[in-house]
Amino acid sequence: MAGTGSSTKVVRTTKIDAALLGKMIYYLKLTREAESRIENVLYRQGKIVGGVYVGRGQEAIGVGAALTMRAGDVTFPCHRDFSVFLIRGFTLADMMANWLARGDSPTRGRENTLHIGNVDLGIFPIISPLGATLPVACGAAMVLKRRGKGNVALVHFGEGTTSLGHVHEAMNFAAVQKLPVIFICNNNQFAYSTPVEKQYAVESLAVRGPAYGMPGESVDGTDVLAVFGAVERGNARARAGKGPTFLECVTLRMTGHSAHDAAEYVPEKMKQTWAKKDPIQRLEKLILDKKILSRKQIEELEGKVREEVDAAIADAEARPLPPGKEAIEGVYCDTECWWSKKRL
Ligand SMILES: Cc1ncc(C[n+]2csc(CCOP(=O)(O)OP(=O)(O)O)c2C)c(N)n1
Ligand SMILES: [Mg+2]
C-alpha cells in the first residue's frame, strides 16, 4: 500500500435530509418506470430495435452518485445509468425520443441506447468499447484540476469492464497525477453471462483502490444513501486536491444483459435474495418509517411519475423519424458528409 492513507474501510456518515430523500425516491421511481416501459412495452411492441440495456436493481448507484454533483462537475455514465442523464438535465422526452430513434433526438436517430451526451450539461457519452471511457474521464479530470475550482469527474463502469487494460492505465494515471476523479464500479455480478468468479480472483474489487494508491471502498449498491455518502467522501477528497477514489457498489442486475436475454444463467435463488434488497423498496421503507412521506403521498408520487412517462412517450412518438435521405448522414463518413465538411 502506498503511503496515501489508502483504505477499504466503510464509514457511514450521511445525515437524513428530507429534501434529499424526496429527490432520491422521485428519481429512483422515474428511472424504474421509464426503463420498464422501454424494456417491457416499447421494445416488445417493436418500436425500439436493437440492444436495450437497463439498470433494474442498480438505479441507486446512478441516483446516489449524480445527486452529489455540483455546478462544473462532469459525469461519464455507463449504459445502465439512465438516472444520471435525467438528474443532470436531459429531458425525459428527449431520452425517449432517442430510444425511439426520432430525427430531432440527441443522436438524430442514429443510435438508440444511452450513447448520448451534452458537454454543456457536463455529461460525456459512453465509448462503446468498454473501458475506453476511463482514460477520457482522466483527461477531463486533468482539465478540472488545472482550472482549480474544486470540481470532480465521476465515471461509471461495470465489474466486467475492470478486467480491461484501459482501466488499469486510467486508475494508475489518476493516482499518480492526483486527479479529481471518482471511479464508480457497478458490480451487478454479471458481465453478460459471465459471473464474477470467472471475472476476477479478489474477494472485493475495493482492494483495487489501494493497489493503485487511492482509497477503495465497497458499498451496498442497493442502498442509495450508502452510495451517496461514499461518493461524497470521494468528492471531498478530490475537491481538496487529494486525488482519486475507487468505489465498488455491489448489486445484482435484475434483468437480462439486454431485453432479448432472459438471464436463465442467473441462479433463481440469487434473483430471489436480491429481489428482497430492491433499492426502491428499501428507500421507501426508510421514508415511511421516518414519516417523511405518507403511503398516500408515495402513491401520489407514483401517479405523477406514470403521467410524466406517459407524456414523454407521447411527445417522443409524435416526433418524426429522420427523413430517409438524411437518416445515415454522418454514419459512414466521406469527404462530402457534414462532419468532414465542418472540419475542412
Ligand atoms: C471491449 C468490449 N468488449 C465487449 C463489449 C460488449 N459488451 C457490451 S456490455 C458488455 C457486458 C459488460 O459487463 P460489465 O462491465 O459488468 O457491465 P454491465 O453490462 O454488467 O453493467 C459486453 C461484453 C464491448 N462493448 N466492449
Ligand atoms: Mg456487470
Q: Which ligand is nearest to the CA of 189?
A: 2
Give residues with Cβ within 8 angstroms of 129, minimum separation 6: none
How does DSSP classify residue 325? G
Write down the pLDDT at residue 286: 96
Query: What's the pTM value of the predicted model, to 2 decimals?
Result: 0.93
Measured between alpha carbons, how far is 62 from 31 in angstroms, rounded to an integer? 10
Measured between alpha carbons, how far is 51 from 59 in angstroms, rounded to an integer? 19
Contact of 78 with 133, CB cutoff 8 Å: yes
How does DSSP classify residue 198? G
What is the distance in A from the centroid of ligand 1 to the CA of 63?
21
Contact of 103 with 121, CB cutoff 8 Å: no
**Topology given in CATH for the domain delimited by 18-343:** Rossmann fold (3.40.50)
3 state DSSP class of 144: helix
- Give the bridge partners for 182, in sequence order: 154, 245
**End-to-end CA separation in angstroms for the chain:** 50
Report the nearest atom of ligand 1 relative to the CA of 186: 21
Query: Ligand 1 site: residues with CB under 6 angstroms?
Result: 80, 128-130, 158-161, 186, 188, 190-192, 253
How does DSSP classify residue 250? E
Report the nearest atom of ligand 1 relative to the CA of 162: 15
- Per DSSP, the chain holds a count of helices (H) and strands (E) of 12, 7
User: Would you state the cell numbers that stand for residue 20, as one nine-digit string?
Assistant: 434529499
- Give the bridge partners for 299, in sequence order: none
Burial tier of 16 (Cβ tally within 10 Å: 0-12, 13-18, 19+): exposed
Q: Which ligand is nearest to the CA of 192?
A: 1
Measured between alpha carbons, how far is 292 from 271 in angstroms, rounded to an integer? 30
Q: Which ligand is nearest to the CA of 161?
A: 1
Q: Alpha helices, DSSP H only, in 217-278?
A: 224-239, 268-275
What is the distance in A from the centroid of ligand 1 to the CA of 53?
11
Measured between alpha carbons, how far is 152 from 179 in angstroms, rounded to an integer? 9
How does DSSP classify residue 249? E
Write down the pLDDT at residue 324: 85
Mutate to test the pocket of ligand 1, among 126, 130, 258 (most ligand atoms within 8 A of CB): 130
Domain boundaries, the chain: 18-343
- Nearest alpha-carbon partner for 11 in 274, 225, 208: 225
Please report, in tens digits, the pLDDT of each residue of the chain (344 residues total): 333 334 444 444 456 799 999 999 999 999 999 999 999 999 999 999 999 999 999 999 999 999 999 999 999 999 999 999 999 999 999 999 999 999 999 999 988 889 999 999 999 999 999 999 999 999 999 999 999 999 999 999 999 999 999 999 999 999 999 999 999 999 999 999 999 999 999 999 999 999 999 999 999 999 999 999 999 999 999 999 999 999 999 999 999 999 999 999 999 999 999 999 999 999 999 999 999 999 999 999 999 999 999 999 999 999 999 998 888 777 776 666 666 665 54
Task: Please compute Rg for the chain using Cα positions.
Answer: 20
